[in-house]
Structure 1
């Protein structure tokens, strides 16, 4: 017996009493997990046929259990054994791969507009719907078009623009799909290598959404086209340039010299962003931790980030040197993901297989 990721997502969203039992190897658990799940180091013993390992976990009576592993095989062993013991248990279909598409939302409200933050809790991708007086723009879409269309409908919003901060390397962009399905223009920052039709975003391009403006600020470094968006002078969508607890990595698809050059560009871009008012709210495109179903936006002011991220207080030389020493492991499948995003077509593959794994865009 199994349960799919969307059903489990809905159960968590509805606060249904559920006991989520993670039986993966510890190194996988440490990299990524479902918020609120309970861990049991059972993978090896379950695969060796030793189901007595399940005696080591205490499960409350009359509680429904969902077991979790990487792909859904070992968790099925655990669920089967628990059902033999009279416990209502299911295995998460597709495991953590399937969970990578799970999502939840949070909302920020301002005088003239709202921003809905859509969070792929199983992947760390953050996308946004900017809404003002019945009009909307979507930025950095990473979920299926149906999710955004559902939220637009629930809020009586007419989609006006679909926008990207850069060509992504850790997830497949759904922006082109959404723009085509809803017959609205797709805007990408330049220069980029996209081979499909789009409208260009340049430094200081301005979008009108309802009663507000959204201004593009070219912030190269993570990629050469990376662009941030200042919403009504109050909120800043920073893509992978600036995170709540770190900065973007400059090394993807770059050799040593190119990485150093991009690190210098990133420093200058960050300085430009830090010149904005201290109370500007930063909303990045990713987070490195699972996103709780708490409806609390992942956000911080520029002043808070500058205080907490030591690299933002460094000179350019010190910043570049430190950044290059802290580059994390390369994201899985990033070259294939970039290729698909450049072509704007991933109809020939299963997105779950390509996108599986934790996010590694930030350096802190």
Structure 2
């Protein structure tokens, strides 16, 4: 009897809709501890495949025979074998995740944020396996995509389904945790690729400068994209205000944390820029702007439909990274709480500069692992 499989899309729907979900992860504990599937209503049990093979009794106390659960491994092979063993042992509602964590890392789940005042719409694409967030802004049949992921076919399919022409591809900064798809997609659709010039001093390609004072207009029904220079995560980090309602903060400010300033080896130099952006520049903006970051770190940040957002004024009340009045204390908080570097971050930066031209499989392997763009106070 064939083992029941579940696609990443089916699992993503369960996660973003906060459905009760039970996962049996059969990877080695070190891989599991580094990176796992998370969600607001997700329970995960780790039992290595080798242990399961030796003694199925190792999971019997945690997995009721009638419970629905999904078996997960690195690439989908061991999970199929494990699911078959469990099925033969009388577990009646077991599935194997198709493609494993490798496929989970690449899944993008779109959710609509809002209808815009200018007649357009704003969508958030959630990369649940990496905590990456990208944005699809539509007006009058045209679109801009912000912080595009490498899996560009997802955006192309969304555009085709909704009869939209992609015109603008925008990166808020030079990414170090994932490979951008912005430049590639801009070339494919004959669109314009934007990058902050202070992050582009070493790039090997042509681009259009993303600069404060240079609005980007989408469609005939105007949706203004207003760049705001906001350094700190990188020297060129630039935020975007959409339709005077939404603040796309890139990797500067998150719902539960703030950006890290060290991914180019410049923590001591850039922490002052980070503080200035968070404690002065953003303070000048309206409290009613809705913050839409480029990443999230915790399952609890996933709201209705998986949406990740927060009112700027509320973040100044509850985000611990915005509560440190003393500048030296802030500097210590940031530099003392830096998480491990993202996997292959230097190679990813060089790829995004155009200095590396890697095969698809190597790009995929470099990105596997958790999001590590934030500092948690």
Asked if Structure 1 and Structure 2 have the same fold, meaning a TM-score greater than 0.5 normalized by the shorter chain, the answer is yes
Among 256, 268, 293, the alignment partner of 1:260 is: 268
Partner of 2:96: 91
1-structure distance, mates of 2:283, 2:256: 14
Tell me which residue corresponds to 1:115. 122
RMSD value, Cα = 2.8
| Separation in 2, partners of 1:357, 1:237 | 24
| 1:102/1:120 contact within 8 Å kept | yes
1:230-309 equivalence runs, <5 A: 230-254=241-265, 258-270=266-278, 271-290=280-299, 294-309=304-319
User: Which residue among 200, 203, 211 is the counterpart of 2:209?
Assistant: 200
Partner residue of 1:125 out of 129, 132, 142:
132
TM-score w.r.t. the length of structure 2 is: 0.86
The whole-number CA distance in structure 1 between the counterparts of 2:302 and 2:64 is: 22
Task: Write the distance in 2 (CA, Å) between the matches of 1:78 and 1:293.
Answer: 33
Deviations 1:292-325 (A, max 9, x none): 5952421011111111123323233332222111
1:138 alignment partner, one of 132, 145, 163: 145
The question of whether the paired residues in 1 share the 8 Å contact of 2:126 and 2:306 is answered with no
Q: Which residue does the alignment assign to 2:349?
A: 338
Q: TM-score, normalised by structure 1?
A: 0.88
Q: Tell me if structure 2 keeps the 8 A contact 1:71–1:94.
A: yes
Quickly say closer, same or farther: Cα 1:80–1:292, change in 2 above 3 A: farther
Distance 2:218 2:85 in 1: 54
Q: Does 1:319 align with 2:330?
A: yes
Cross-structure match for 1:81: 85
Alignment partner, residue 101 of structure 1: 106
Counterpart of 1:68 in structure 2 is: 72
Length, aligned pairs only: 360
Shift of 1:72: 4.0
Residue 359 of structure 1: aligned partner = 371
In the TM superposition, residue 246 of structure 1 has moved relative to its aligned partner by 1.5
Q: Is the 8 A contact 1:47 1:74 kept in 2?
A: no
Quick check: 1:23 aligned with 2:26? yes
- The equivalent position to 1:164 in structure 2, one of 171, 174, 185, is 171
Aligned pair 1:151/2:158, yes or no? Answer: yes
Deviation per CA, 1:142-197: give whole Å up to 9, x if none. Answer: 15221111222333322221110011111111111211111111111112222112
**Which runs of 5 or more residues in structure 2 are unaligned?**
none
Q: Distance in 2 between matches of 1:360 and 1:152?
A: 30
